Amino acid sequence: MPVSHKTIVRVAVPSPLRRLFDYNVKESCAFAPNSLVAGMRVSVPFGRRQIIGIIVEITNHSDIVPEKLKDVTEFVDDQPILSGRLLKLFKWASSYYQFPIGETLFHSLPILLRNGEPLPELRERYWTLSQKGLDAGEELLVSTPRQSSLFKLLKSKINIKESFILEQFSRSILSKLEERGYAQLEYKENERVADDILVGNPREPNQEQQIVLDAITLNDFNCWLIDGVTGSGKTEIYLKCIEKILLAGKQALVLIPEINLTPQTERRFNSRFNVPIVVLHSGITKKQRLQGWAKSLSGEVKIILGTRSAVFTPMKKPGLIVVDEEHDSSYKQQDGFRYSARDLSVMRAQYEDIPILLGSATPSLESLRNCDEQRYRHLMLTKRAGSAAVPKWQTIDMRQEKIESGFAETTLSSIADTLHRSEQVLVFLNRRGFAPVMLCKQCGWAAECKYCDSKMTLHRSCNQLICHHCGARSNPPAGCPACGSGQLIACGEGTERSELMLQDRFRNTQILRVDRDTTKKRGHMLEVIQTAQKGHPCILLGTQMLAKGHHFQHVTLVVIVDADASLLSPDFRSTERMGQLLTQVAGRSGRGTLPGNVLVQSYQPHHPVLQILLGKGYGPFARELLAHRRKVDLPPYQYLALVRAESKLASRAERFLLMAKATADSIRKSSKALYYTGPLPALLERRSGRYRYILRIECKNRKLLNSVLDKLARNLESDHSVRWCIDVDPQEF
């Protein structure tokens, strides 16, 4: 290995190549070699382009011969934008999720930083007279009256904010005084610490909460699973712990699954703490993201509240991570860098040596297993805080009922009774649009997407057929394209249709619909919440958006229109998800003083899984599923990864995976430890005109699986015949 006495930096660049790139640091570089730090950005030549990269290592060795080593063109930062601990975390993530190191690092940065924008200056700029200025007499400036008045201003007071000066003087006047040596710039850290961080009056913890709070220690790494029924006061626990962290001068990172839908969460934090809070989610501008990121890096912001990608936010003084609704599948990114923000949070807490709280009313099987293995500590809240009672479940046997547009007669009369008592109803139907299928009554033709293996959903409001997988749209045909008959019927129920039906049946009742179509309108969710809070009898109707985190105090009846869909799905996780969703939806009711009822409509009311869930609750239900997973060797008792391939030709995707399987097999010769299934078509075989295939690789040994995947990925790196990726701990098939 050629050894150079020069400084060489190993740089991550946004490239699919799974390695770092070496560059030479010129001796004439503005940095003394010991002030170069990993985590700084550089501008470097790459191929024929000039690109931004991040220094990951500093060394004086390179495998590249010195003549071929290119120079760093420019140093973008004068301080690292990523700490050593974060760099370590991202290296771990890159190798765990088999995603190229450069792309992993760049994924974590706000777009403006990826593009080379400078880190915003967050320190406040102040001006004051220099020694020369203090010694000088005003008469020196008589010929320049503007400079003279600025001089007088600076003389009147030390340290004047630049923004205040610029309200009265142009920047050029200020620069002239500086050039002449009379004025000088001072920086002040803008790290406000509120004297009194509490604004809201926290409630006295109840007995269960106190036990949980006493168990949680906040000094170093530890992972707690707070397993508490909806409304049991988990959020109160987070707030109490955050309070202690803030008092110690540290920052807290709080992840929630979906922020646009839960404006209350942000308000709850704001009304409790008198500290700067930043909210990071997909709806903010590039500039806001950069600002929030930088303020967290500088320590100015004390609480970072955000969705999945907020896990990458740097913190100056990290103190605590909270992952609310830890079971939520939106924590797993489903394309590109397929990381799980929950799992990455736990790793991050470990690297930063800080505590982490995972909270849920319906913990994931993974987390429950981690508790069994003593990796996490299991803390329970079994009662609702305050006076609210736990809702009562009842199944409606659809086989015995007269049914109108998806609603059983018994259900409709319960809705009527509830409204009659001036209480509110929540109807849950996880299907948006008017009808999921458009059928020909004569020949059975059904409207299908041209690009996917799926039916088109009829949307009444825009009168279009829309594919929910790829977004393709078309006008509904006037007659059947197959037999010419005019008898096309909309089959099945979506939220639009239920809305019409319920409105027709309950004429004087307000129906508030919430799904991805209605929430496109800004502020719609907030409007719904505010209307519901007024307490008039109404029907809230919606998809899983309604299940996430809202408090509807006046709802006393919850209707689950279709509990069967997920009992029949081939995805092994679908039962777990159904249990979580049903429990979450049910938890929306009876939060006030009135008791809640939950009606579950099913054609299989005696399905054993449904029986356990409804009869015994989520805890025993989850235990049952865990026992089953253990028996059949599925996660979390088995580690699982997929190689995914997509191509316009099914045969090409399949061939690629056969080759991948052979390669993996040769890496670890006929190992009994690794178990392959496939290539198989994905559950949705064709999407957006591409055929999707998967190869499942299972293993009981995480390290072994990881090392095989790593070699496999390097082997496949140069294959561009299909779109492929590796999905570790997949959530979709």
Q: Which residues bind ligand ADP (CB under 6 A)?
A: 203-206, 209, 228, 230-236, 385-386
Token pair in block for residue 621: 């239900």
Per partner kind, with CB cut-offs from 5 to 8 A, the member of Zn ion, ligand ADP, none near residue 480 is: Zn ion
Number of DSSP helices (H) and strands (E) in the chain, helices first: 21, 32
Token pair in block for residue 273: 């703490």
- Smallest distance from Zn ion to CB 449, Å: 3
Report the b/e string of 411-430 with b at 16+ CB within 10 A: bbebbeebbeeebbbbbbbb
Binding of Zn ion by 443 (CB under 5 A) = yes
Per partner kind, with CB cut-offs from 5 to 8 A, the member of Zn ion, ligand ADP, none near residue 440 is: Zn ion
Report the b/e string of 301-311 with b at 16+ CB within 10 A: bbbbbbbbbbb
Strand ranges, E, within 551-699: 555-560, 597-602, 639-647, 674-687, 690-699
Rounded-to-integer distance, Cα 194 and Cα 712, Å: 52
Q: If you write DSSP's letter for every residue of 279-329 in order, what string do you get?
A: EE-TTS-HHHHHHHHHHHHHT---EEEESGGGGG---SSEEEEEEETTT-G
Binding of Zn ion by 439 (CB under 5 A) = no
Q: Is 92 helix (H, G, I), strand (E, B) or coil?
A: helix
Per partner kind, with CB cut-offs from 5 to 8 A, the member of ligand ADP, Zn ion, none near residue 445 is: Zn ion
The helix or strand, by DSSP H or E, that contains position 8, with its residue range, turns out to be: strand 3-12
Q: If you write DSSP's letter for every residue of 555-581 in order, what string do you get?
A: EEEEEES--SGGGG-SSTTHHHHHHHH
Per partner kind, with CB cut-offs from 5 to 8 A, the member of ligand ADP, Zn ion, none near residue 395 is: none
Per partner kind, with CB cut-offs from 5 to 8 A, the member of ligand ADP, Zn ion, none near residue 529 is: none
Token pair in block for residue 171: 């920047």
Closer residue to ligand ADP in complex, CB, 268/668: 268
Helical pair 207-215 and 234-247, crossing angle rounded to 10 deg = 40
Per partner kind, with CB cut-offs from 5 to 8 A, the member of Zn ion, ligand ADP, none near residue 232 is: ligand ADP
- Smallest distance from Zn ion to CB 483, Å: 3
- Smallest distance from ligand ADP to CB 382, Å: 11
In the list 482, 489, 673, 683, the residue contacting Zn ion (rule: CB under 5 A) is 482
Binding of Zn ion by 351 (CB under 5 A) = no
Binding of Zn ion by 483 (CB under 5 A) = yes
Closer residue to ligand ADP in complex, CB, 203/616: 203
- Smallest distance from Zn ion to CB 445, Å: 4
Query: How big is the site for Zn ion, counted in residues (CB under 5 A)?
Result: 15
Among 479, 540, 532, 534, smallest CA distance to 506 is for 540
Closer residue to ligand ADP in complex, CB, 108/230: 230
Rounded-to-integer distance, Cα 669 and Cα 663, Å: 10
Q: Is 650 helix (H, G, I), strand (E, B) or coil?
A: helix
Asked if residue 649 lies in contact with residue 692, where contact means CB atoms within 8 angstroms, the answer is: no
Token pair in block for residue 491: 């089959």
Token pair in block for residue 250: 């540290």
- Smallest distance from Zn ion to CB 16, Å: 27
Per partner kind, with CB cut-offs from 5 to 8 A, the member of ligand ADP, Zn ion, none near residue 611 is: none
Per partner kind, with CB cut-offs from 5 to 8 A, the member of Zn ion, ligand ADP, none near residue 185 is: none
Closer residue to Zn ion in complex, CB, 245/447: 447
Asked if residue 72 lies in contact with residue 26, where contact means CB atoms within 8 angstroms, the answer is: yes
Asked if residue 132 lies in contact with residue 310, where contact means CB atoms within 8 angstroms, the answer is: no
Closer residue to ligand ADP in complex, CB, 222/232: 232
Per partner kind, with CB cut-offs from 5 to 8 A, the member of ligand ADP, Zn ion, none near residue 311 is: none
Token pair in block for residue 417: 């009774």
Residues 6 or more apart whose Cβ sits within 8 Å of residue 709: 98, 641, 697, 726, 728
Closer residue to ligand ADP in complex, CB, 386/479: 386
- Smallest distance from ligand ADP to CB 361, Å: 7
Binding of Zn ion by 237 (CB under 5 A) = no
Per partner kind, with CB cut-offs from 5 to 8 A, the member of Zn ion, ligand ADP, none near residue 267 is: none
Rounded-to-integer distance, Cα 665 and Cα 113, Å: 41
- Smallest distance from ligand ADP to CB 565, Å: 26
- Smallest distance from Zn ion to CB 695, Å: 24
Closer residue to Zn ion in complex, CB, 92/451: 451
Candidates 99-107, 244-252, 307-315, 448-456: pick the segment binding Zn ion (CB under 5 A): 448-456
In the list 449, 458, 578, 694, the residue contacting Zn ion (rule: CB under 5 A) is 449
Closer residue to ligand ADP in complex, CB, 550/607: 550
Closer residue to ligand ADP in complex, CB, 387/475: 387
Per partner kind, with CB cut-offs from 5 to 8 A, the member of Zn ion, ligand ADP, none near residue 676 is: none
- Smallest distance from Zn ion to CB 443, Å: 3
Among 409, 254, 628, 607, smallest CA distance to 582 is for 607
Closer residue to ligand ADP in complex, CB, 152/203: 203
* Phi and psi at residue 505, to the nearest 5°: -80, -40
- Smallest distance from ligand ADP to CB 402, Å: 37
In the list 160, 480, 609, 612, the residue contacting Zn ion (rule: CB under 5 A) is 480
* Phi and psi at residue 553, to the nearest 5°: -65, -30
Rounded-to-integer distance, Cα 226 and Cα 365, Å: 14
Closer residue to Zn ion in complex, CB, 474/533: 474
* Angstrom distances, CA of residue 721 to CA of 655, 664, 715: 10, 18, 14
- Smallest distance from ligand ADP to CB 196, Å: 21
Strand pairing class (49-61; 21-25): unpaired
Per partner kind, with CB cut-offs from 5 to 8 A, the member of ligand ADP, Zn ion, none near residue 452 is: Zn ion
Per partner kind, with CB cut-offs from 5 to 8 A, the member of Zn ion, ligand ADP, none near residue 235 is: ligand ADP
Cis? peptide before 620, omega within 30° of 0: no
- Smallest distance from ligand ADP to CB 597, Å: 19
- Smallest distance from Zn ion to CB 479, Å: 8
Closer residue to Zn ion in complex, CB, 440/641: 440
Closer residue to Zn ion in complex, CB, 383/468: 468
Closer residue to Zn ion in complex, CB, 419/472: 472
454-473: contacts with Zn ion (CB under 5 A)? 467, 469-470, 472
- Smallest distance from Zn ion to CB 642, Å: 22
Rounded-to-integer distance, Cα 268 and Cα 686, Å: 44
Closer residue to ligand ADP in complex, CB, 173/229: 229
Among 41, 110, 52, 106, smallest CA distance to 288 is for 110
Q: Which residues lie near Zn ion (CB under 5 A)?
A: 440, 442-443, 445, 449, 451-452, 467, 469-470, 472, 480, 482-483, 485
